[in-house]
Chain A
Amino acid sequence: MSGQHHPSADILAAYASGVLEPGFGLVVAAHVDGCAQCRRQVASYEAISGDALCEIDDAAMGDDALSRVMSRLDGAAPEKLAMDRRPFAERLTLKPRKWVAPGVWVAAVETPHARTNRVYVLSVAPGMPTARHEHSGAEFCTVLKGAYRDELGLFRAGDFAATDHDVNHQPVVQGDEACVCLFATEGRLQPQGLLGRLAFAYADV
């Protein structure tokens, strides 16, 4: 699933540096996982950081650090850890789905994140309008399944979108399967109208 819409170089660099908020990093990871082009870019940022690591000022370890670490090493040779090769979407741990309208469910993602952020999966069936909403902060989104279209274009599985507070948009699901997206949202979503707000309160996102 290598899409047309990628995170910006800034976002990928922040991701590679580990400075993105964990929930936002997860959404970038969902894209990078399926995008060879972005994986190469992240790898090159990591190589630069690796070089920088070699140049960094030493901070002396404690006198007994080596012996303490050696005493923690397992007896046998380390084993190769098994890679989790399931598709990204299946590796997410979701809280129970909450149906907030016909054909629309949200599920919070089990991931530690800042108290003011929300990390969740939203699924919208074809033909369902989504609530027009504004953002009170940054939002990252990676499409996991299906497709949607909004003012910025067509977004298909693997595509990534970053929006910020001045966007007021209304995505429309394309095609005949539900569109499932992973979101990280800073601050509260601002759905217009009480219904939207209560729906999101219900869903705890």
Chain B
Amino acid sequence: MDDCADISDEALLTQIAAGNRVAFSSLFGRYASKVKGYLIKLGARGAAAEDLAQDVMVSIWRRAASFDPAKAKASTWIYVVARNAWIDKLRRERVELAYRDTLIIDEASDEELPDDAVSRVQTEAQMAEALELLSEEQKQVVRLSFFEDRPHSEIAEHLSLPLGTVKSRLRLALIKLRAHWEQMK
């Protein structure tokens, strides 16, 4: 049921930009199931595909005023809105994952070094010297984490230690090293 059957997609978008709901429902009839098909192709499933397709249609309404028929066809513009909605969805899902388990020093206690904090290049020899300040236990976790690049969970298993102990041991080791570097500046 398209009340605007003889109107082009581009003209519909222009009318939508002016707040025309009849034009919007026609465009919905033409594109909503295509958008949903596209999202399913990208990997959206079941109710999530339906919800996201509805979100895309709402975005089309909200953004219609930025459509410029001189720059792009309606199908291109609608594709870009749908694609960006998919990318945004992936980003939202990634937020939780973005926090690394290798983050060692808490954000709150992690003071920024001032611009001129380090006035000379730290050499490997100085590093070795600094490492001597650490206890054997601290050296061991530093070595496993930074030489062997092992995840904290694996280090914990390897040393039969609770994960929290590995993290706090690393944190203390790095704080000690940093304090040593601060003295050298």
Contact = CB atoms under 8 A, between A and B. Distances in A.
A50 B75 contact: yes
Given A62-B50, A72-B58, A99-B117, A18 B34 contact: no
A101 B37 CA distance: 51
Interface in B13-45: 16-19, 21, 24-25, 28-29, 31-42
Contacts of B91: 22, 111-112
B136 interface: no
Contacts, number: 178
A58 B73 CA distance: 20
Contacts of A101: 118, 121-122
Contact of B63 (A81, A194, A201): A81
B6 interface: no
Contacts of A204: 100, 103
Interface in A50-64: 50-54, 56-62
A61 B112 contact: no
Contact of A59 (B29, B33, B64, B75): B33
B98 A50 contact: no
A201 B25 contact: no
Contact of B94 (A43, A98, A113): A113
A158 B80 CA distance: 24
Interface in A3-53: 17-18, 22, 25, 43, 46-47, 49-53
A56 B58 contact: no
B102 A201 contact: yes
Nearest to A46: B76
Contacts of A197: 146-147
B66 A47 contact: no
Nearest to B64: A78
A152 interface: no
- Specify the main secondary structure of chain B where it touches its partner: helix
The 10 closest A-B pairs by CB, nearest first: A77-B19, A50-B76, A50-B75, A112-B94, A80-B65, A58-B33, A59-B36, A59-B37, A18-B83, A50-B79
Interface of B: 16-19, 21, 24-25, 28-29, 31-42, 49-50, 53-54, 57-58, 61-66, 72-80, 82-84, 86-87, 90-95, 97-100, 102-105, 112-115, 117-124, 127, 131, 145-147, 149, 174, 177-178
Given A50-B77, A197-B147, 15 more contacts: A22-B91, A50-B74, A50-B78, A53-B78, A56-B37, A59-B33, A69-B54, A70-B21, A73-B61, A99-B117, A102-B119, A112-B97, A114-B94, A198-B146, A204-B103
Interface of A: 17-18, 22, 25, 43, 46-47, 49-54, 56-62, 65-66, 68-70, 72-74, 76-81, 96-102, 111-115, 188, 193-195, 197-198, 201-202, 204
30 contacts: A22-B91, A22-B94, A47-B73, A50-B77, A53-B75, A59-B49, A60-B33, A60-B36, A61-B50, A65-B53, A66-B32, A72-B54, A73-B24, A73-B58, A74-B61, A77-B17, A78-B62, A80-B66, A99-B114, A99-B115, A112-B93, A114-B97, A115-B98, A115-B99, A193-B124, A194-B127, A195-B122, A197-B147, A201-B104, A204-B100
